[in-house]
Each structure stands twice: as structure tokens, then as C-alpha cells.
Copies of this chain bind each other. A is one copy, B any other.
């Protein structure tokens, strides 16, 4: 725990438990990378991320400005899973159920081709488990054109809200429905690429995405 990961507001919702933090990072597909630009202003960019052991990896074009700004500088990477809408009897107690992680640290450019390749494999396998064995692997040229940035999973905190609304006791008598409406990300039917060559079936690991999310 550091000054930055100290849980100030509603500390009961917070956690520094490594398993909790890893589970949120592993489930969230998108995260938001915050860097400070040359003028000292914040810039927040959506990105895919993947955790491999003790590090979180991001990638992008070698020309990507935000990734360049993340190298050797302090960043904040935040991943959020929206789990539900919380409907209270009082307007002010409406809320959202969510799980989020804030990861602080300095980004480091990954130079080693093997580590870059393993990070990209882990990302593809995170998005679509079983996919890597089927795809054309990155060429040397593609790897050179890709920037992979690593953030150590050392300074992080999770924040979680779950469960029913918390109304003030006197409001419990109001004739107003209260409760939670859960939200989850659902995968739809696979849509084949219009250029798909005839006779190529959709693999089971792709159709499984819809089942896994429902």
C-alpha cells in the first residue's frame, strides 16, 4: 500500500488483495491508460491489456504517442467492470455495482522479441481462448512495428461495490421499488469475414464465447 493506493473514500469497498486485483484485470477486456502530456495535462486512452504474472502488458503501433508517453513515466491504468445498476428509493442513493482496479507505476518499453511475442500471445488467448494455435504468428517486421509496454503489478488497489441499495432507514417505508439490475457483457453470434474462403467452419472456441458469457 502506498500513498496513491490508500483507500480514502469508502475504504470498506476497497481491497489490496492480489487475487482480487488479478481477477478484475484478467476479466476486464478494456482498460483506460492515463498519462501526462508535455503540457502537464492528463490524457486517457482506451486500450486492451493483459496480465502475465507480475506485469500488465499494453501494445500499439510503435508510433503511438500515448504508449511513448507511458515509457519511463508514471502512468495510471484503470480497468472497470460494470456489474449492475443500483436503484434506491432515494435519488441520492442510486449507484452502480462495479469492480475496478487502479494500477500505478512506470511503463517500460519491452525490447526483447520473445517477451513481446509472449505478451501478444497472452493477449490473443485472453480475448479468445484457443485462438493462438490457429493464427499466423507475428513476423519479425510486424514485431518491430509494434510497441509493447509493461507495467509492474506492484502498486495497485481494487474497489468493489456489490449488493442491494443502501437507503436511509426512514426511506424503507416509501412505496418505491428498489433493487439491482445486473449488467453483463454478452457475446453475440459470430459474423464471418466477407472475405472468408469457402468451407472454413467457425471453430468451437469462437462459438464458445457466446456460451461462456451467458
- Of the candidates B82, B180, B194, the one whose C-beta lies within 8 Å of that of A29 is B82
Decide if A151 is an interface residue (CB 8 Å cutoff): no
**In the complex, chain B residues whose CB is within 8 Å of the CB of A181:** 128, 187-188, 190-191, 206, 209-210
Most chain B C-beta atoms within 10 Å of own C-beta, residue among A40, A98, A172, A193: A193
Determine the interface band of chain A, counting residues with CB < 8 A from chain B. Answer: 35 or more
A209 to B100 alpha-carbon distance, docked (Å): 23
Contact present for A78 and B46 (CB under 8 Å): yes
A interface residues (Cβ-Cβ under 8 A, vs B): 4, 8-9, 29-30, 32-37, 39-46, 48, 60-61, 63-65, 74-78, 80, 82, 84-85, 87-92, 94, 96, 98, 100, 102, 104, 120-121, 123-124, 127-128, 131-132, 134-138, 142, 146, 164-165, 167, 171-197, 200-203, 206, 209-210, 213
